[in-house]
Structure 1
Amino acid sequence: MKTLNYKTLEEMNYDGYLLKDAPVRVLQFGEGNFMRGFVDYFIDMMNEKAGFNTKVTLVQPIGQGSFRLKDIINDQDGLYTLYLQGFQDGKEVREKRIISAVKNCLNAYEDWNEVLDMAAGKELRIITCNTTEAGITYDPSCQFTDAPASSYPGKLTQFLYRRFQNQLPGFIILACELIDNNGKELEKCVLQHAFDWNLGDEFTAWIKNENIFCSTLVDRIVTGYPRSEADSMNAENGYVDQTLDTGEIFGVWVIEGPQSIYDEIPFKEAGLPVIVTDNHKPYKERKVRILNGAHTSMVLGAFLGGQDIVRDCMYDPTISAYMNEAIYNEIIPTLSLSKEDCEEFAHAVTERFKNPFIDHELLAISLNSTAKWKARVMPSLLGYVEKFGKLPKALTTSLASYIAFYRGSELGKDGLKAVNPVTKKEYTIKDDAPVLEFYAQNHGKSDEELVSLVLSNEEFWGQDLTKVNGLEQAVTEALNTIDEKGAMAAMSECISR
């Protein structure tokens, strides 16, 4: 079979949407699966639905290594096949689309002069990035004369300075890294480099006044290259695509910035799930507390109840009812967005958990559950207590399930070993070393003793949870129920009748 490119599709008489030629208006630092399955998909949809007429140049911000993805992308004329699949409106959905928004790919270390030359492009207006969570960090070792600077903020500062020298307007900069206030943190790093490198007050003012650094919240699971299915997909398509990409059908992009962004980027005209707001934090709170919080509060008890996959949990009447109890009656009442917004999001979360194309293992989600429970569940529990003056039963039980899951006996190199009470199979608890050492040292303690030790561990929670009125006793009682009747019975006792 021939490689996917425009010539191959022309020979196949392909009649789907394609945009072959258009100005490059977007420079994207990051060529990975997520950005191609999320941001570039949105741009492609705006090209078709709203006449955006925009191409994207991708920049690999790190060296290529042995797998030369840049060359593959360019050999395919930037084209790739994206499959979005999942459960939507009660039905299984699988959509396939050839994405034609990407023009080409450059590598920052091989093509740095060509990257800098793009700063002279009068049509260029948007910079997007996803350089991983470690990408937005200030590195004082970066120098202005480096070609390029080793860090992404250093590279961006060099690029912006070239733009400034060309006396051209700045950019809308959309940061997609998974850190708090990603856009603002990126701006801080850029301003620090400008200061350290003595690039002048005029350039600093230009950075602040001509550029919009947007913190954004991105929400879509992109599962990437479907290695086990790639051959059959290529055979069905009639071409070889080495950059196949897959993701869930759900997607939301929340952008913190001025409403004028809607005037420049036709998200609304294309009917895309993009929200431009002056404060993205309530949306992040909604995602973390509902989506991630539902995972963390449910999976450990479900695993102890004999389940292995998230999707299967959604079809278990006890587990699904327990999760709904936690979400609708205990988490949503503590959130700042409207009940309607939160319940709509929660409904989508339930459908995402049912995705038939993703086998999301409970043990994989259990990784580092101590920090996850603190960040994702504890704020809802404490918020509920503050608002209603009583304990939320499902979230309280989730803390007991966490303790029950972590009661391992043998600490090894891979983690803390424990045995599932239902399946009788050994499993490995993975967390930070001090957490695992704590549970190993306290193995064999009574429920009362262990709960007291866990809740009072301020290194875990940042506070002494035994001071929350009634929490220690309630968690102990829930742990007793797990021991005597099983995790499923403990979850069942939380469900409103």
Structure 2
Amino acid sequence: MSRLNRSTYPAPTFPEKILQFGTGVLLRGLPDYLVQKANAAGKFNGSIVVVKSTDSRTDEFSSQDNLYTVAVRGVQQGQDVAETTLVSAVSRVLAAQTQWNEVLMIARNPNLQIIISNTTEVGLNYTEESIFQHPPQSFPAKLTAFLYERFRSVGGSKAKGLVVIPTELVTDNGLKLREAVEKLAKFNELGKLFTKWLKFHVRFCNSLVDRIVTRPTAEAQQALETELGYEDGLLTFTEPYHLWAIEGDDRVRQTLTFADASTPQIIIDEDINFYRERKLRVLNGTHTLTMPLGYLLGLETVADEMQHAAMSRFVELLMLNEIVPTVPHYGIPGMDKAAVAQFAHDVLDRFRNPHLDHLLLNISLQETAKMQARNVATIQRYYEQFNAVPPLTALGFAAYLLFMKSVRVEEGQYLGEISANGGIITYPIRDEQAGYFHETWQGVDPKNPATLQAFVGSVLANQSIWQTNLTALPGFADTVTAQLSALLTDGAASVVEKAVS
């Protein structure tokens, strides 16, 4: 079987209009995929130059002439979806470590219009450094150096400004990146004219990306390559659902010609908070509240949860009855209660996707911070609307507290244990608060209800974690304590069955 390349699979070439920082699967499976679709429809006619910052190896792209395949598999509105797209939108991939001068040369390209990034959540953080290194270390410094080169090459032209769209999963990612770039411009004394050009002619857009994109398993890779008739080391596996919400004005709409009425998956609006809140609360919040209980049941993936009768029912009831009613909406078509409800049903379809191995342990990374960011406001809003304890949320929170119970520490790694599937499963607790929970659990005697109640009360009252005192919510601490006691004495299977019956 031959390797995918342009000799065997010829593809058109287009002017380089997009500079992209990042080579990960999310970018390949969402923005790059959408640009490919637009090129195929004759709507954009532009290609993407990719910058790789992590190391200097780009052979995985160059060995197949920057082509790769996106395999879409899953269920959408009850229908099986199987689609395969050959993406040729990437023109070349440059390594920042060894080809920084070539990256800067792209700044002189008159066709360049857009910069996209997906580094990491901490990749947008400001670091005080010189932008004249080859290359600068942080992503904001690399971007500042590039924009400064652009400014110098175009003489501060308004017509040659750029639209910058970070896709990192950080609230107000565009504003955060702009702030870092402006600080670097000041630190590096780049001058008032550059600062003015940056302010008026470079548009930083907040954005939200929503699509589960993975690498296929070895078995899926082999099956797909057999089906396709070629080897693809960049084969990208994704679900049917996709959304890219971009905060922008008419200038942004005119620049992003790959987005129009025929691509409802790309939303350009001056306020994308509705889409951010909807995803954060419904999809992410449900993941965070259900992951611990699913794992305590001995399940491994989100799809496993949805194939477990009681756990699937728990997920649905929690999402539809306790989370969806609390999501803020604007009461207008597309941004109303119906849109939230439709999104929730789409999410349930996505959770059931048997083709994606979405591991619960991966979801558990920094579970405490996620619980605070995704679910505390939901709990508070539920009280405001119903003046009552959200019962399934309380159970999910209790399961989280039990999941955070470490039994030992090895080489600085906190380890938990559960009895499941006929044996003992040891798992890592990858959480900045793992040490805090390890110490706090030491004072708990499962046979002494008072110690359990004191433990729950102490955790819920910890304002440094939750940014509020959760014991102030009437009945919440008592309900969490009761559910935690039941999990310890009766086991997760019995407790979840009772909760959904």
Normalised TM-score (structure 1): 0.90
Instruction: Quote how far apart the aligned CAs of 1:489 are.
Output: 4.3
Question: What secondary structure, in the 3-state scheme, does the structure 2 residue paired with 1:26 have?
Answer: strand
Equivalent position of 1:395 in the other structure: 393
Is structure 2 residue 256 aligned with structure 1 residue 261?
no
Question: What secondary structure, in the 3-state scheme, does the structure 1 residue paired with 2:110 have?
Answer: coil
Does structure 2 retain, via aligned residues, the 8 Å contact 1:225–1:243? no
Does structure 1 retain, via aligned residues, the 8 Å contact 2:162–2:201? yes
Change over 3 Å in CA distance of 1:404–1:267 after alignment to 2: same
Question: What secondary structure, in the 3-state scheme, does the structure 1 residue paired with 2:213 have?
Answer: coil
Higher mean C-alpha deviation, range 29-38 or range 447-456: 447-456
Question: What secondary structure, in the 3-state scheme, does the structure 2 residue paired with 1:82 have?
Answer: strand
Equivalent position of 1:200 in the other structure: 191
Instruction: Give the Cα separation in 2 of the matches to 1:305 and 1:231.
Output: 31
Q: 2:212 aligns with which of 208, 211, 221?
A: 221
Change over 3 Å in CA distance of 1:373–1:235 after alignment to 2: same
Does structure 2 retain, via aligned residues, the 8 Å contact 1:50–1:270? no
Instruction: Give the Cα separation in 2 of the matches to 1:370 and 1:257.
Output: 32
The one-character-per-residue Cα deviations of 1:93-128 (angstroms, maximum 9, x if unpaired) are 222111011111122232222222222222111111
Change over 3 Å in CA distance of 1:443–1:453 after alignment to 2: same
Higher mean C-alpha deviation, range 329-338 or range 200-209: 329-338
Instruction: Give the Cα separation in 2 of the matches to 1:160 and 1:140.
Output: 17
Instruction: Quote how far apart the aligned CAs of 1:385 are.
Output: 0.8
Change over 3 Å in CA distance of 1:473–1:351 after alignment to 2: same
Corresponding letter in the other structure for 1:359:
D
Q: How many residues align?
A: 483
Does structure 2 retain, via aligned residues, the 8 Å contact 1:50–1:266? no
Question: What secondary structure, in the 3-state scheme, does the structure 2 residue paired with 1:329 have?
Answer: helix
Equivalent position of 1:244 in the other structure: 235
Change over 3 Å in CA distance of 1:397–1:3 after alignment to 2: closer
Equivalent position of 1:148 in the other structure: 135
Question: What secondary structure, in the 3-state scheme, does the structure 2 residue paired with 1:427 have?
Answer: strand
Equivalent position of 1:2 in the other structure: 2
Equivalent position of 2:151 in the other structure: 164
Equivalent position of 1:362 in the other structure: 360
Instruction: Give the Cα separation in 1 of the matches to 2:252 and 2:37.
Output: 17
Unmatched tracts of structure 1, length 5 or more:
11-17
Instruction: Quote how far apart the aligned CAs of 1:283 are.
Output: 1.8
Corresponding letter in the other structure for 1:437:
H
Instruction: Give the Cα separation in 1 of the matches to 2:60 and 2:367.
Output: 38
Instruction: Quote how far apart the aligned CAs of 1:351 are.
Output: 1.1
The one-character-per-residue Cα deviations of 1:235-262 (angstroms, maximum 9, x if unpaired) are 4433332222222222111111114433
Does structure 1 retain, via aligned residues, the 8 Å contact 2:4–2:230? yes
Equivalent position of 1:14 in the other structure: none
Q: 2:92 aligns with which of 81, 104, 107?
A: 104
Instruction: Quote how far apart the aligned CAs of 1:231 are.
Output: 4.3
The one-character-per-residue Cα deviations of 1:282-327 (angstroms, maximum 9, x if unpaired) are 3222112111111122222233334333212213332222222221
Instruction: Give the Cα separation in 2 of the matches to 1:112 and 1:409.
Output: 48
Change over 3 Å in CA distance of 1:127–1:96 after alignment to 2: same
Instruction: Give the Cα separation in 1 of the matches to 2:161 and 2:317.
Output: 48
Question: What secondary structure, in the 3-state scheme, does the structure 2 residue paired with 1:400 have?
Answer: helix
Instruction: Give the Cα separation in 2 of the matches to 1:164 and 1:417.
Output: 53
Is structure 2 residue 102 aligned with structure 1 residue 114?
yes
Instruction: Give the Cα separation in 2 of the matches to 1:312 and 1:171.
Output: 44
Higher mean C-alpha deviation, range 21-30 or range 456-465: 456-465
Is structure 2 residue 456 aligned with structure 1 residue 451?
yes
Instruction: Quote how far apart the aligned CAs of 1:61 are.
Output: 2.7
Instruction: Give the Cα separation in 1 of the matches to 2:136 and 2:269.
Output: 32
Equivalent position of 1:179 in the other structure: 170
Instruction: Quote how far apart the aligned CAs of 1:170 are.
Output: 0.7
Equivalent position of 2:49 in the other structure: 57
Instruction: Quote how far apart the aligned CAs of 1:424 are.
Output: 4.9
Instruction: Give the Cα separation in 2 of the matches to 1:192 and 1:306.
Output: 48
Instruction: Quote how far apart the aligned CAs of 1:411 are.
Output: 4.0
Corresponding letter in the other structure for 1:477:
A
Instruction: Quote how far apart the aligned CAs of 1:271 are.
Output: 2.2
Does structure 1 retain, via aligned residues, the 8 Å contact 2:212–2:238? yes
Unmatched tracts of structure 2, length 5 or more:
330-335
Instruction: Give the Cα separation in 1 of the matches to 2:187 and 2:464.
Output: 37
Question: What secondary structure, in the 3-state scheme, does the structure 2 residue paired with 1:134 have?
Answer: helix
Change over 3 Å in CA distance of 1:489–1:75 after alignment to 2: closer
Higher mean C-alpha deviation, range 290-299 or range 87-96: 87-96
Does structure 1 retain, via aligned residues, the 8 Å contact 2:293–2:399? yes
Does structure 1 retain, via aligned residues, the 8 Å contact 2:441–2:455? no
The one-character-per-residue Cα deviations of 1:448-486 (angstroms, maximum 9, x if unpaired) are 333223323334323332222111222223234434544
Does structure 2 retain, via aligned residues, the 8 Å contact 1:250–1:352? yes
Change over 3 Å in CA distance of 1:260–1:468 after alignment to 2: same
Is structure 2 residue 480 aligned with structure 1 residue 475?
yes
Change over 3 Å in CA distance of 1:303–1:5 after alignment to 2: closer
Equivalent position of 2:274 in the other structure: 282
Does structure 2 retain, via aligned residues, the 8 Å contact 1:29–1:129? yes
Equivalent position of 2:113 in the other structure: 125
Q: 1:379 aligns with which of 365, 377, 380?
A: 377
Instruction: Quote how far apart the aligned CAs of 1:191 are.
Output: 1.2
Does structure 1 retain, via aligned residues, the 8 Å contact 2:296–2:418? no
Does structure 1 retain, via aligned residues, the 8 Å contact 2:163–2:204? yes
The one-character-per-residue Cα deviations of 1:376-397 (angstroms, maximum 9, x if unpaired) are 2222111111232221111122
Does structure 2 retain, via aligned residues, the 8 Å contact 1:49–1:269? no
Question: What secondary structure, in the 3-state scheme, does the structure 2 residue paired with 1:192 have?
Answer: helix
Does structure 2 retain, via aligned residues, the 8 Å contact 1:455–1:466? yes
Instruction: Give the Cα separation in 2 of the matches to 1:107 and 1:306.
Output: 42
Equivalent position of 1:340 in the other structure: 338
Question: What secondary structure, in the 3-state scheme, does the structure 1 residue paired with 2:107 have?
Answer: helix
Instruction: Give the Cα separation in 2 of the matches to 1:284 and 1:345.
Output: 12
Instruction: Give the Cα separation in 2 of the matches to 1:415 and 1:59.
Output: 36
Instruction: Give the Cα separation in 2 of the matches to 1:448 and 1:133.
Output: 36
Corresponding letter in the other structure for 1:419:
I
Instruction: Give the Cα separation in 2 of the matches to 1:123 and 1:7.
Output: 27
Normalised TM-score (structure 2): 0.89
Equivalent position of 1:442 in the other structure: 443
Instruction: Quote how far apart the aligned CAs of 1:488 are.
Output: 4.0
The one-character-per-residue Cα deviations of 1:331-350 (angstroms, maximum 9, x if unpaired) are 12211122111111111111
Instruction: Quote how far apart the aligned CAs of 1:441 are.
Output: 1.4
Instruction: Quote how far apart the aligned CAs of 1:421 are.
Output: 6.8
